[in-house]
Structure 1
Amino acid sequence: MNKRQRIKKNEEFQKVFKKGKSFANRQFVVYCLKKEEQAEFRIGLSVSKKIGKAVTRNQIKRYIRQTFLELKEEVRQDMDYVIIARNQAATLDFHETKKSLEHVLKIAKVLKKKQLERE
Structure 2
Amino acid sequence: MFDHGKSVANRNFVIYRLPRDQKHFRVGISVGKKVGHTAVLRNQIKRYIRQSLLELKPNIDPQMDFLVIARKPAASLTMAETKQNLVHALTMAEVLKSDVDYI
Q: SS at 1:111's partner residue? A: coil
Gaps of 5+ in 2: none
Instruction: Out of 45-54 and 104-113, give the one that drifted further.
Output: 104-113
Structure with higher helix content: 1
TM norm structure 2: 0.92
> For residues 105 and 51 of structure 1, what CA distance do their matches in structure 2 show?
20
Q: Deviations over 1:24-59 (max 9, x none)?
A: 0000000010001x1111110111111121011001
Q: Which amino acid aligns with 1:51?
A: V
- 2:25 aligned residue: 41
- Would the aligned equivalents of 2:91 and 2:98 in 1 still touch at CA under 8 Å? no
Determine whether 1:72 maps to 2:47: no
TM norm structure 1: 0.80
> For residues 105 and 76 of structure 1, what CA distance do their matches in structure 2 show?
10
Displacement of 1:113 after TM fit? Answer: 4.5
Q: Which amino acid aligns with 1:28?
A: F
> For residues 114 and 73 of structure 1, what CA distance do their matches in structure 2 show?
13
Alignment of 1:1-119 (within 5 A): 15-16=1-2, 18-36=3-21, 38-52=22-36, 53-116=38-101
> For residues 27 and 112 of structure 1, what CA distance do their matches in structure 2 show?
20
**Superposition RMSD in Å:** 1.4
Q: Percent identity?
A: 52
Q: Deviations over 1:50-90 (max 9, x none)?
A: 11210110011111111110000111010001010000000
Runs of 4+ in 1 over 6 A off after TM superposition: none
> For residues 97 and 115 of structure 1, what CA distance do their matches in structure 2 show?
18
Structure number with higher relative contact order (C-alpha < 8 Å, ≥ 6 residues apart): 2
